[in-house]
């Protein structure tokens, strides 16, 4: 197998080994590099933009979602962020201890909990997002604007294909379409009247 000059040594080793197994090396390289690039980029941005503020990536994503979309039920957050409710509860617990979010229990159904930003949480996420965006610009600086757009488009296309595979093979239906998440009329299935906001 000819050696690609842009491959790092460990990727060369992996591909040399897998070539003997009949692996589609282009498909393997696409998934491998998507995974490793995401890990490298997020680890770098978390270290430089979030940790100085005492945040982890999971908590930052929750704060950003609440900042952009407004208060949301725990299960809505889990659905749109594609994590378990347990993971959301853990992140919210950490953020609540710092006074960055508050829980509001529904007066209609006590099982339903809405999470909203506190003033401190809104102030923090506003400041942190600026630091995060500086790094977004810096980490993509080696790409042209057209390459950035192409990369984003290809990632969306690949993600859509992965979601279709889950739906077709496992009968998995997304509980909430992220594209509709910011709509004020979007409702979770069988959602009851949302909790009243505190005055």
Burial class of residue 135 (count of CB atoms within 10 Å of its CB; 0-12, 13-18, 19+)? middle
Structural domain spans, the chain: 19-139
Instruction: For the chain, 199 residues long, give each residue's pLDDT as a single digit of tens.
Output: 444 557 888 898 999 999 999 999 999 999 999 999 999 999 999 999 999 999 999 999 999 999 999 999 888 888 888 888 889 999 999 999 999 999 998 777 767 889 999 999 999 999 999 999 999 999 999 999 999 999 999 999 999 898 888 888 887 655 555 554 555 544 444 343 343 444 4
Comparing CA positions, the residue from 104, 122, 100 lying closest to residue 112 is 104
In this prediction, residue 108 carries a pLDDT of 73
pLDDT of residue 177: 54
Indicate the CATH number for domain 19-139. Answer: 1.10.10.10
The pTM assigned to this predicted structure is 0.79
Rounded CA-CA distance 89/115 in Å is 10
- What is the number of helices (H) and of strands (E) in the chain? 7, 3
């Amino acid at each position: 197998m000819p050696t690609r000059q842009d491959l790092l040594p460990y990727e060369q080793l992996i591909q040399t080994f897998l070539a003997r197994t009949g692996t589609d090396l282009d498909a393997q390289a696409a998934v491998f590099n998507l995974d490793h690039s995401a890990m490298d980029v997020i680890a770098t941005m978390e270290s430089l933009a979030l940790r100085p503020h005492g945040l982890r990536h999971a908590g930052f994503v929750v704060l950003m979602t609440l900042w952009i979309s407004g208060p949301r039920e725990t299960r809505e957050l889990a659905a749109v962020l594609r994590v378990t409710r347990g993971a959301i509860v853990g992140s919210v617990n950490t953020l609540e201890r710092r006074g960055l979010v508050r829980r509001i229990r529904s007066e209609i159904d006590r099982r339903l909990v809405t999470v909203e930003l506190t003033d401190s949480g809104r102030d923090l996420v506003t400041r942190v997002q600026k630091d995060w965006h500086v790094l977004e610009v810096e980490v993509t600086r080696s790409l042209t604007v057209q390459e950035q757009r192409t990369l984003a488009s290809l990632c969306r296309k690949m993600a859509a294909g992965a979601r279709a595979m889950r739906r077709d093979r496992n009968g998995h239906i997304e509980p909430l379409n992220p594209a509709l998440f910011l709509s004020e009329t979007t409702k979770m299935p069988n959602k009851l009247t949302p909790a009243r906001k505190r005055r």
